[in-house]
Chains A and B, each alone.
Chain A
Amino acid sequence: MKKLNIVLLAVILISLSACNGLPIEGDFGPTHFNLIDQDNQSQIFPDLIKGKIGVVGYIFTNCPDICPLTTNNMRLIQEELKKENINDDVEFVSISFDPEVDSPEVLKNFAEIRDLDLNNWAFLTGEKSIIDSLIKEAGVIAVVGDSSVTKEGETIYYFIHTDRISLIDEEGNIRKNYLGSRINIKDVVADIKKLL
């Protein structure tokens, strides 16, 4: 019985640490990814986050449903951080996994129509091979599923993709992954505070 109690106490302690702590779940490997932001400026990921906490979302702009929810959740996190005066310690990054469609201009329009505050938020696109290796490191899967053909004969592809926002620490480690479209804003803000 005593042994059993010790085992159970261990379970409790492990459970508690898993609840409160944010263990390192991964990183982006040794690679520095050369990308372009919505203003056509080159950016190196994850270096642009270094020294700050990163909130990183993965999107494609032809996505009418999940990706706007993810983007909106990032906006809500940013608003909450402003209220708490810690917004300057955090960098937001939205990475397109559909770079053939999502040019810097498309990403800029996507951000502008939503009136997003881009002071600490970058929308990144780039060469497909670079994007592909980046999302692979992030554990994000994006595969073409259904498509629609417009009157002008253009085929629009819809991705089946991981619904994700990642929390990145100051060293570029992935500390937590959330379901991007179904996130609890307060939980993320609490996790960000733990890393500050």
Chain B
Amino acid sequence: MKTKFKFLIPLFAVLILLGCAKQNDEVKQPEESTAHMSGMMVHNAWIRQAAEGTTTALFGMIMNHTEVNDTLIGVSSDLAQLTEFHETYQKEDDMMGMRHIEAQPIDANSSLILKPGSYHVMLIRLNQDLNVGNTKEITFHFKHAGDIKVEAIVKEMNEMGSMDHSQH
């Protein structure tokens, strides 16, 4: 009896250690039904609320429903002094940074998710307040698909990841 359960001790130790380990917080993205879509599009675009003079970001999903490999070559808007495509990246365990991306490939029949902590459109030095509920226009420039105008809604999300579900 005594020896029989000895193996449980190391098992228990391992389980506890696993329980202490950092949680993996990768957010799984929901798969969208794409049957009714065609062409290049930007889906579920939203901008995080921000005050005039500050900087904010736009998120959503770029979907290339064409047979052509394309490239996002820029973004523009009259909401801010500068509009740029950016990526937030992790450096080491707990450091976060951000970089400007001049050209982002969007392959045929693929999509790119713009979300907090990842790809985003930077709106730098806003010339107006962006309040929750406002709808604003911004333009994505693609090498092949050309200019795609997008209506984005201003919101503040509740928790990271949850905004993906609130928009369906």
B residues with CB within 8 A of A? 6, 9-10, 12-13, 16-17, 19-20, 23, 25, 48-57, 81-82, 84, 86, 88, 91, 94-100, 116-117, 120, 122-125, 129, 131, 156-160
* Option from A73, A160, A184 in Cβ contact (under 8 Å) with B23: A184
Q: Which B residues touch A190, using CB under 8 A?
A: none
Q: Which A residues touch B17, using CB under 8 A?
A: 11, 15
Tell me if A193 counts as interface (CB < 8 A to partner B): no
| Contact call A156/B125, Cβ cutoff below 8 A | yes
| Contact call A113/B16, Cβ cutoff below 8 A | no
How far does the Cβ of B9 sit from chain A's closest Cβ, in whole Å? 5
Q: Which B residues touch A16, using CB under 8 A?
A: 16
| Contact call A151/B82, Cβ cutoff below 8 A | yes
Q: Which B residues touch A63, using CB under 8 A?
A: 55, 98
Can you sample 5 A-B contacts with CB below 8 Å? A8-B9, A65-B116, A162-B96, A181-B96, A182-B25
| Contact call A65/B81, Cβ cutoff below 8 A | no
| Contact call A64/B55, Cβ cutoff below 8 A | yes
| Contact call A76/B54, Cβ cutoff below 8 A | no
* Option from B50, B55, B95 in Cβ contact (under 8 Å) with A141: B95
| Contact call B13/A109, Cβ cutoff below 8 A | no
| Contact call B88/A65, Cβ cutoff below 8 A | yes
Bin the interface of chain A by size. 35 or more
| Contact call B54/A109, Cβ cutoff below 8 A | yes
- With contacts A66-B88, A181-B96, A181-B116 known, is A12 near B57, CB below 8 A? no
Tell me if A61 counts as interface (CB < 8 A to partner B): yes
Roughly how many angstroms separate A43 CA and B132 CA in the complex, as a whole number?
32
Q: Is the interface of B mostly helix, strand, loop or mixed?
A: mixed
Q: Which B residues touch A15, using CB under 8 A?
A: 13, 16-17, 20
Q: Which of A71-117 contact B (CB under 8 A)?
A: 72-73, 76, 106, 109-110, 112-114
| Contact call A163/B94, Cβ cutoff below 8 A | yes
Q: Which A residues touch B20, using CB under 8 A?
A: 15, 18-19
| Contact call B54/A148, Cβ cutoff below 8 A | no
| Contact call B125/A146, Cβ cutoff below 8 A | no
Roughly how many angstroms separate A150 CA and B88 CA in the complex, as a whole number?
20
Tell me if A130 counts as interface (CB < 8 A to partner B): no
How far does the Cβ of B131 sit from chain A's closest Cβ, in whole Å? 7
- With contacts A8-B13, A64-B48 known, is A156 near B95, CB below 8 A? no
Roughly how many angstroms separate A184 CA and B50 CA in the complex, as a whole number?
24
**Contacts A15-B16, A181-B160 given; 10 further ones with Cβ under 8 A?**
A18-B20, A62-B54, A69-B160, A109-B52, A113-B131, A141-B95, A151-B81, A154-B125, A162-B96, A163-B94
Q: Which A residues touch B16, using CB under 8 A?
A: 12, 15-16, 19
How far does the Cβ of A185 sit from chain B's closest Cβ, in whole Å? 7
* Option from B23, B84, B95 in Cβ contact (under 8 Å) with A161: B95
| Contact call B88/A1, Cβ cutoff below 8 A | no
How far does the Cβ of B97 sit from chain A's closest Cβ, in whole Å? 3
| Contact call B124/A148, Cβ cutoff below 8 A | yes
How far does the Cβ of A149 sit from chain B's closest Cβ, in whole Å? 8
How far does the Cβ of A151 sit from chain B's closest Cβ, in whole Å? 5
Roughly how many angstroms separate A163 CA and B116 CA in the complex, as a whole number?
13
- With contacts A15-B16, A109-B54 known, is A72 near B81, CB below 8 A? no
